[in-house]
Amino acid sequence: MTKVAVLLAAPGLFEQAAFGNAIVLGVLALAAVAGFYCAKNEIWRQALGEVFRRRKLSVLVLGIYVLLALADSISWVGGGEAGADAVQAHEARSLVDRWFEGTTEKSYSAPLGVAEFYDKTPLQRPRAHLLGTNILGQDVLYMTVKGARVALLIGGLTSLIAIPLALFFGLVAGYFGGRIDDIVFFVMSTLASMPGILLLIALIMVLGQSTFSVCMALGVTSWVSFCRLARGETMKLRELDYVAAARALGASHAAILWRHILPNLLHLVVISFVLLFSSLVLAEATLSWLGIGVRGSWGNMIAQAKDELSRDPIIWWNVTAAGVAVFVLLLCVNRIGDALRDVLDPRTLGEGR
């Protein structure tokens, strides 16, 4: 009862916890739907099986990132250690937060160090910080693991905003052509002609600085290139014989778009998702460096390195951990995307392998 009362009394905290858990549920539901669809559809089953065969390591590493991000999204209030302060006791903390409970030191310490980096006082937990601690004494491994959630959230949520938007306008413009195409193309050209970073900064200023507004801003600025691709591909598909055949069978425009054009664009969607995803993670790092990114992201850790790298002796572990985390994630995503592109290319689709 007290727990419920606390949750109701602190709507902000409740929302925070609910948001994270909703994401977990959403991701799991999406994965289930996608898995079910792929298992039913022979082409996708073959393609994904082939990607897994070719890129076992990348898929595995990406899986670890996803698991860490999910672990950091499952959160609830209470159950903290004895001695935690009052604020902490009422905060929703995730699984990852709980794993690294009470690891905070006073300030910098080197990886596996036994003492504070500057004043040489002994650490509370010597040799326990695999990647050292940062300026606030937080475990760098902990921050790096937490960054995975932010990166995947930025990449995933933004793609979920940008790709449906781009796909819808691309399909409509490409299929119907004429005046609709003119309007969509005008909007695309206008957006494409504005300097991306300036537009991003302006949008974030207007929307306010939160994870969601950063995703919105990135989504608005990044849908154009895929929209153009989808439009061009639709224009090509529209002229194909099976579309003509479907019309001769009495299919409506909506049915043709949904059943005949969209499924033939799906390989493009998957590939664009992968490419967009990695560019978005990088874009967020840029925004963090400019100070308008998302809290707790790898970009933030890299931004801190502005000062740390100019010290003597330099603090290298913070930026290195974040850099390696970004690099490995993007490398895996790109390698998987590369394999997907090979496998899903319509020209090689269905050929005996």
Partner 1 sequence: MSAVLDVSKLMTSFPAGKKRVPVLADVTFSLAAGRCLALVGESGSGKSMTALSILRLVPRPGQIDAGSVTLSGRDLLTLPVPEMRSVRGREIAMIFQEPMTSLNPVVSVGEQVVEAIVLHEKVSKQAARERSVELFRRVGIPDPGARVHSFPHQLSGGLKQRVMIAMALALRPRVLLADEPTTALDVTVQAQILELLRELQAESETAILLITHDFGVVNQLADDIAVMYAGRIVESGSRTAILESPSHPYTRGLLAALPGRARAGERLQEIPGRMPAPADVPVGCPFAPRCPEAIADCGAWTARLTKLDKREVACLRREEAGGAS
Binding site for partner 1 (CB under 8 A): 42-43, 240-242, 244-252, 255, 259-260, 263-264, 266, 346, 349-350
Q: How many Å apart are CA 187 and CA 169, to the nearest integer?
A: 10
Please, what is the minimum distance in Å from the beta carbon of residue 33 to partner 1? 18
Amino acid found at 158: T
Q: Which residue's structure tokens are 């449906």?
A: 164
Closest CA relative to residue 341, chosen from 248, 237, 269, 247: 269
Please name the residue ranges forming H helices in 41-177: 42-54, 56-73, 86-89, 95-99, 140-176
Nearer to partner 1, 217 or 256 (CB): 256
Please, what is the minimum distance in Å from the beta carbon of residue 242 to partner 1? 5
Please, what is the minimum distance in Å from the beta carbon of residue 187 to partner 1? 23
Nearer to partner 1, 198 or 244 (CB): 244
Please, what is the minimum distance in Å from the beta carbon of residue 44 to partner 1? 9
Please, what is the minimum distance in Å from the beta carbon of residue 49 to partner 1? 16
Backbone angles phi, psi at 76, to 5 degrees: -155, 170
Closest CA relative to residue 177, chosen from 234, 117, 262: 234
Please, what is the minimum distance in Å from the beta carbon of residue 333 to partner 1? 25
* H or E, element range at 327: helix 317-344
Q: How many Å apart are CA 299 and CA 290, to the nearest integer?
A: 9
Nearer to partner 1, 64 or 240 (CB): 240
Nearer to partner 1, 64 or 245 (CB): 245
CA geometry: angle at 273 spanning 147 and 339, to 5°? 100
Cβ atoms < 10 Å from Cβ of 18: 14
Nearer to partner 1, 40 or 120 (CB): 40
Backbone angles phi, psi at 79, to 5 degrees: 75, 20
Nearer to partner 1, 312 or 351 (CB): 351
Nearer to partner 1, 47 or 303 (CB): 47
**Are 167 and 233 contacting, i.e. CB atoms less than 8 angstroms apart?**
no
Please, what is the minimum distance in Å from the beta carbon of residue 24 to partner 1? 32
